[in-house]
Amino acid sequence: MVLSKKRARHVIEEIIALFPDAKPSLDFRNHFELLVAVMLSAQTTDAAVNKATPDLFEAYPSPQDMAMAGEADIAKYISRLGLYRNKAKFLKKCAQQLLDDFDGQVPQTRTELESLAGVGRKTANVVMSVGFGIPAFAVDTHVERICKHHDIVKKSATPLEVEKRVMEVLPPERWLPAHQAMIYFGRAICHPKNPECDHYPQLYNFKDI
């Protein structure tokens, strides 16, 4: 049974209240580094990405530098990450696209971001919201699991259906705080196995809602 909009919002707002200061856990200093870090984070922990990116960014601080590099050279810096060969290929091609199509700048619209090699909807949403402050809601494995576990969406919901549901339930200014808080909540409390959500009864206090 999927929760009503009011009850779904209550659950999400309580999650935000548990982690009110949640910030992006990927390390970056500019839009290009953010884009690269989010691309690298697919099927890899943010902590692992943060170990790889300092040397990577020192070697290739700009799209120009990365576009000129060989795939094998890029791969050396990210070889401890999952799917690193594919990611190296995407990084090089993406950097070249930034030069060819966007004057070396990271674009701000979803359509333009998704035109880049290796960039899907989730990555585009993170770059838009975290990098440019444009309201968007990114759905990762934590967000999807939490929304299904807490009946914010049906168990069979796709990532896009999860995204649309949360955007429907919350006002735009709450999308980014919700995304960040859900990541922390998923890591610390709503685990894939043996979730500890029952220790937080405020999530389910639906009296008068």
43: alpha, beta or left? (left if phi > 0; alpha if psi -120 to 50): left
Provide the pLDDT for residue 50. 98
Q: What is the pTM of this model?
A: 0.94
Number of domains in the chain: 2
Whether residue 174 contacts residue 22, with contact meaning beta carbons closer than 8 Å, is answered with no
CA 22 – CA 80 distance, rounded (Å): 27
Do residue 94 and residue 141 come from a single domain? no
For position 123, what pLDDT does the model report?
A: 97
Structure tokens at 198: 């029952």
> Do both 154 and 106 map to the same domain?
no
pLDDT at residue 208, rounded to an integer = 84
User: Within this chain, do residues 36 and 123 fall inside the same structural domain, yes or no?
Assistant: yes
Residue tagged active-site, from 27, 73, 140, 151:
140
> Does residue 13 fall inside a structural domain?
yes
| Region of 207 on the Ramachandran plot (φ > 0 left; ψ -120 to 50 alpha; else beta) | beta
Q: Are residues 169 and 194 in the same domain?
A: yes
Asked whether residue 209 is domain-assigned, the answer is no
pLDDT at residue 80 in the model: 95
- Residue 46 to residue 57: CA distance in whole angstroms: 16
100 catalytically annotated: no
- Catalytic site includes residue 207: no
Residue spans of the chain under pLDDT 50: none
- Domain around 51: 31-132
Q: 174 in a domain, yes or no?
A: yes
